[in-house]
A and B are shown apart, each in its own frame.
Chain A
Amino acid sequence: MTELLLGAYVFLLAIIVGFEVIGRVPSMLHTPLMSGTNAIHGVVLVSAIIVAGQAHDTSTRIIAFFAVVLGSLNVFGGFVVTDRMVNMFHSRPGERR
C-alpha cells in the first residue's frame, strides 16, 4: 500500500508540473510540443524491456517482442519527428532581415 501511495504522490505532483510547464507554450509550438510529449511517453519502452526480460515461455516472449518493437517505434520515431519540426525554428523571433 505504501508503494501505491508513493506512486500516487509522484503521479499527482508530476501532473501539476506538467500543467505548469506546458501552460506557457505559445500556440505556434503546439505541434512540436505534442510531438515532443509523444516521444517522451515512448519511455514505455523501458517497461517493455523489463517485462521482456522476465518472459519465460514462447507465448510471453512473442508478446514481449511486439511490446519492445512498438515501444521502440514510439521512442525513435517520436524523437526524430520532433527533431525535424523544431529544426524549423532556427532563427530568433523577428531576427531575419
Chain B
Amino acid sequence: MNAAIGIAYLIASLTFIAGLRFLSSPVTAKLGNRVAAAGMILALVATFFYKDLTNFPLIFVAIVIGAVLGSGSARMVKMTAMPQMVAIFNGMGGGAAALVSTLEFVHLTSNGATLDHSQGLTIALGAAIGSISFAGSIIAFAKLQELMPSNAYQFSWTKFANAGVALILVGFVAAITIGSSSHLVIAGLLAVAVILGLVLVTPIGGADMPVVISLMNSLTGLAVALTGFVLGNELLIVAGALVGASGTLLTQLMAKAMNRPITNVLWGSFGATSVAGMELPPGATVREISVDDAAVLMAYSQRVVIVPGYGLAVAQAQHQLRELSDLLNDSGVEVKYAIHPVAGRMPGHMNVLLAEADVPYSEVYEMSAINGEFPSTDVVLVVGANDITNPAAREDPGSPIYGMPILNVDYAQHIIVLKRSMRPGFAGIDNPLYYNPKTAMLFGDAKDSVQKLVAATKNAAKPRDSKRKEDGRLAATKA
C-alpha cells in the first residue's frame, strides 16, 4: 500500500466519523450521509491503485451489478419496507466479509504455508461472524417481508440445539486457529455458521426484529473490522469498529426500551408461551364508535395525544394524520404525538414517517416525556398501535410482555383505537385496553379511517371555529 492510498484511506476514515456525527442531528443528517458516501467513493477509487491488482473486468462487472441492483431496489421500495431493506443490505455486507476472510485463508495457505495463530483466529472469526450476520439478516428480511411466518416459537430443545451448533462452530474456529489449512475445514466453518445464524433468528418473533437487525448490523461491523486485521487495512478496522460500537449501543437502547436483556431476545420466547393474557372481567365487551362521534369527541377536547404504530406505516396514513392534527390544532385543540421507542419495526420508524408528513418536531414527544401527561389528556387516538399500549405489560405478571414500558394511554379520559380488526398485535397477545369502558374502537384501514375523520372534523369544528372568530372580532371592537 503506497502513501497516497494510505492518505486516501485516512481521509475516508475521517469522513465516516464526521458522517456519523452529522447524522446525529436532523439538520445535518443529509449532509452526514453525503460526506460518508464521498469518503466511500474516495476509498474505492484509491483501492484500484493497489499494486499487483488483477482481474479488473471481473471486479468492474461485479461492482456494476451490485450498484444497479442495490441502488435500484433501494430507490423503488416503499418507505414501509425500509427496515427489511436495511436488513438485507446488512446481510450482503456480512456475506462479503465472510467470503473475503475465506479468500484470504485460501490465499495465505496456497503454497502449503500455515497461518500463525493470530491470523487463523481473525480469519476464522471474520468468516464465522460474517456468515452468522448473513444468514440472520436474511431471516430477518424474510420475516419482515412476510415471506415466512413472523411469529415467535420456541421448543424446549431449541436452546440445546443452538448451543450444540455453536459448540461445533467453536470447534471449527479452534481448528483454524491452531493451524489447519484444509479447505474442507473453512467450508465446514462457513456452513455451520450459516446454520447458526438461521437457527438463532428463526425462532424470534417479528416484534423483536428491530433488535435483531441492530445486532446483526453490529456483527457485520465486527466482521468487517476482522477482515481489516487480516488484510492489515486500518480503514476497514476503523469503519468496522465504528459500526460495531454504534450497533451495540443501539441494540442496548432498543432492548432497554423493551425492558428485555438482549439474551432474553435471543433465547427468550416472546409471545411463544401459551397466550393467557390478562384475565378479562366476565362480560367484557368491545365498544365501537362512529366516525362522527369520534371527530366531535376530539374537536371539542382540550388535549389530544396521537399514538402511532406499525398500522400507520402499513396504511401509509401519515399525511392524512397530519391533516387531522392540523385541523384540530387550528380549532384550538392541543395535539401531541407520543412515540414509543419500539413503535413500528425499527427505532425511530415512527419519527421517519411523521417527518415525511412534515409533522413539526415540537409536536412529537418521546415516551418518557409524555407518559405523565395522559391523566390530563382528554382523548388518545391510537393509530395502528397495539402491544406498546397494552396495560397487561404494567399490571399482569403472567403476561409475556410484563415489564415492557408502555405508553399509559389507559390513564386518559377517552381512548379511540383505529384498528383493522380485533386481531392481536405482533406479540400475539390480547390487549385488555380494548375492553376498557373508556375505550372505543373504530375498525377499518387506518388511512381510510383517518380520511373520514378529517372530513367529519371539518364539519364538527366549524361552529367552534366561527365562534372563535366572533370572539376575535369582539375583542377587536373592544380594543
A interface residues, Cβ below 8 angstroms from B = 1, 3-4, 6-7, 10-12, 14-19, 21-56, 60-61, 63-97
Q: Decide: A39 and B37 in contact? CB cutoff 8 A.
A: yes
B36, B90, B341: which contacts A27 (Cβ < 8 A)? B341
Distance of B308 from chain A, by nearest CB (Å): 12
A-B contact pairs, 16 of them (CB 8 A): A14-B237, A21-B24, A25-B23, A33-B23, A39-B37, A47-B100, A47-B236, A53-B53, A56-B110, A60-B107, A64-B55, A75-B70, A83-B34, A88-B355, A90-B30, A96-B358
With A26-B24, A36-B23 already in contact, the answer to whether A84 and B349 are too (CB < 8 A) is no
Give Cα distance in the complex from A96 to B26, angstroms. Answer: 14
A6, A52, A69: which contacts B65 (Cβ < 8 A)? A69
Give every chain B residue within 8 A of A49 (Cβ-Cβ). 44, 47-48, 50, 53, 59, 63
Q: Decide: B99 and A67 in contact? CB cutoff 8 A.
A: yes
Asked if B348 CB lies within 8 Å of chain A CBs, one says yes
Asked if B178 CB lies within 8 Å of chain A CBs, one says no
Q: Decide: B243 and A52 in contact? CB cutoff 8 A.
A: no
Give Cα distance in the complex from A14 to B16, angstroms. Answer: 11
A11, A26, A34, A38: which contacts B93 (Cβ < 8 A)? A38
Distance of B97 from chain A, by nearest CB (Å): 5
Give Cα distance in the complex from A46 to B44, angstroms. Answer: 6
Produce 1/0 per residue, B188-205, CB < 8 A to A.
000000000000000000
Q: Decide: B24 and A22 in contact? CB cutoff 8 A.
A: yes
Binds A, one of B160-168, B214-222, B395-403, B407-415: B214-222
Give Cα distance in the complex from A78 to B110, angstroms. Answer: 34
Distance of B347 from chain A, by nearest CB (Å): 4
Among A15, A18, A37, A67, the most chain B Cβ lie within 10 Å of the Cβ of: A37
With A77-B85, A79-B40 already in contact, the answer to whether A29 and B96 are too (CB < 8 A) is no
Give every chain A residue within 8 A of B234 (Cβ-Cβ). 6-7, 10
Distance of B66 from chain A, by nearest CB (Å): 2
Q: Decide: B360 and A67 in contact? CB cutoff 8 A.
A: no
Asked if B232 CB lies within 8 Å of chain A CBs, one says yes
Give Cα distance in the complex from A50 to B1, angstroms. Answer: 11
The size bracket of the interface on B is 35 or more
Distance of B163 from chain A, by nearest CB (Å): 28
Binds A, one of B246-254, B385-393, B423-431: B246-254
With A29-B26, A67-B96, A78-B89 already in contact, the answer to whether A36 and B355 are too (CB < 8 A) is no
Distance of A14 from chain B, by nearest CB (Å): 4
Give every chain A residue within 8 A of B118 (Cβ-Cβ). 1, 4
Question: Main SS of the interface on chain A?
Answer: helix
Give Cα distance in the complex from A73 to B91, angstroms. Answer: 10
Give Cα distance in the complex from A85 to B217, angstroms. Answer: 17
Q: Decide: B236 and A44 in contact? CB cutoff 8 A.
A: yes
- Work out how many contacts link A and B, with CB atoms closer than 8 A: 389
Among A15, A35, A43, the most chain B Cβ lie within 10 Å of the Cβ of: A43
Give Cα distance in the complex from A19 to B27, angstroms. Answer: 21
Nearest-CB residue, chain A, relative to B24: A25
Interface residues of B in 245-291 (CB under 8 A from A): 245-247, 249-250, 253-254
Q: Decide: A21 and B17 in contact? CB cutoff 8 A.
A: yes
Give Cα distance in the complex from A90 to B81, angstroms. Answer: 21
Q: Decide: B53 and A33 in contact? CB cutoff 8 A.
A: no
B interface residues, Cβ below 8 angstroms from A = 12, 16-17, 19-21, 23-27, 29-30, 32-34, 36-37, 40, 43-44, 47-48, 50, 52-56, 58-59, 61-67, 69-71, 73-75, 77, 79, 82-83, 85-86, 88-90, 92-93, 95-97, 99-100, 102-104, 106-107, 110, 118, 213-214, 217, 220-221, 223-225, 227-229, 231-247, 249-250, 253-254, 339, 341, 346-349, 351-352, 355-356, 358, 360-362, 364, 366
B103, B339, B366: which contacts A63 (Cβ < 8 A)? B103
Distance of B187 from chain A, by nearest CB (Å): 11
Give every chain A residue within 8 A of B55 (Cβ-Cβ). 52-53, 55, 61, 64
Nearest-CB residue, chain A, relative to B240: A41
Give every chain A residue within 8 A of B82 (Cβ-Cβ). 31, 35, 81, 84-85
B221, B245, B361: which contacts A19 (Cβ < 8 A)? B245
A6, A26, A46, A64: which contacts B47 (Cβ < 8 A)? A46
Q: Decide: B361 and A94 in contact? CB cutoff 8 A.
A: yes
Distance of A16 from chain B, by nearest CB (Å): 8
With A49-B44, A73-B92, A89-B30 already in contact, the answer to whether A80 and B74 are too (CB < 8 A) is yes
With A54-B54, A60-B106 already in contact, the answer to whether A70 and B242 are too (CB < 8 A) is no
Q: Decide: A36 and B103 in contact? CB cutoff 8 A.
A: no
Give Cα distance in the complex from A17 to B14, angstroms. Answer: 11
Give every chain B residue within 8 A of A92 (Cβ-Cβ). 26-27
Q: Decide: B26 and A84 in contact? CB cutoff 8 A.
A: no
B242, B244, B360: which contacts A95 (Cβ < 8 A)? B360
With A40-B239, A50-B50, A80-B75 already in contact, the answer to whether A74 and B30 are too (CB < 8 A) is no
Give every chain B residue within 8 A of A37 (Cβ-Cβ). 20, 217, 221, 242-243, 246-247
A32, A34, A70: which contacts B96 (Cβ < 8 A)? A70
Give Cα distance in the complex from A79 to B434, angstroms. Answer: 41
A48, A53, A71, A87: which contacts B52 (Cβ < 8 A)? A53
Give Cα distance in the complex from A85 to B71, angstroms. Answer: 14
